[in-house]
Each structure stands twice: as structure tokens, then as C-alpha cells.
Amino acid sequence: IKPVWEQVGSSFIEHHYRLFHNDRTQLGAIYIDVLCLVWEGQQFPGKAAIAEKLSNLLFQKIQHSIMHSPDSYIISMAVGQLKVDEDLIMVFHLMFLLKNINDAWVCTNDVFRLALHNFGRPPLRQVLTIFQCLMLQ
């Protein structure tokens, strides 16, 4: 039997990508209301704005080929490869900070980074850098 943190972390990432691939408009359901997505310096506060931003990304296809923390939080991290539309395959790092609130695991922080190590390569059509910050009350 896997530890609960591994079960929750793996399930959350699978669920996130299932929504991302099938219906990005539903992604808001996995975030908390006070979350702020910062995408290339532009802020998207709240679930609705985050879901709208992720739903309106310019690419149509994406291909993808988990670390944990204390005090009822779980860090779930995925490292893999993705292919956006017709661009080259790229390595990515994705981290979710999950917290159990009212018996539901929700995302309180989300960090996505491309591992771009070939700086001589032409710029990507769209740089996919997501940094979501937890807005403390």
C-alpha cells in the first residue's frame, strides 16, 4: 500500500492533466479562491480567472510522458517531457502544493517551469512559465 501522500499526489496530477486535456474550463475546481496565477508577469487572481487563462492557451495539443511537505500539506511534483503542437519535445517541472480543506485536497500553490537548457535555440512560440502564488490573508 502506498502512503497517503503518494496516493493523493499521484491522483491529483492525473486528475489535473485529465482536466487539462479534456476540458480546461473545469480546472478552476481544483484551486482555492485566494490563489493567484502569475503567467509571464500577468496576474490572474481567483479560480475563474485561472480557468479562463488555462482554457485560452494558444496551443491545442500537449503531450506529457511526484516531493512532499509538513503540516497537512502535500507537495506533488512531476518531471517529464512535453510536446506542444509542432514544437520540439521539452523537459518540464510541475509542482503543486496541496492542502486538505473540508475533506477535499485543493491546490494552494502551483509552479510550472520548462527546463530550457539550449539557449542557442530560437525562442519558443509561447513560453510556458506558470508561477502561482498563495495570497495570504
Q: CA–CA separation, 104 vs 99, rounded Å?
A: 8
**What does DSSP assign to residue 49?**
H
3-state secondary structure 62-91: EEECCCCCCCCEEEEEEEEEEEECCCCCEE
Q: Is the pTM of this model over 0.85?
A: no
Give the domain CATH number at 77: 3.10.450.50
At residue 50, the pLDDT reads 87
At residue 65, the pLDDT reads 53
Question: Domain limits at 115?
Answer: 4-134
Q: CA–CA separation, 80 vs 97, rounded Å?
A: 18
pLDDT single digits (tens) 3-48: 777 788 778 888 888 888 888 888 888 888 888 787 766 888 888 8
Q: CA–CA separation, 92 vs 36, rounded Å?
A: 21
Q: Domains in the chain: how many in total? A: 1
Q: What is the mean pLDDT of residues 114-121?
A: 62
At residue 41, the pLDDT reads 67
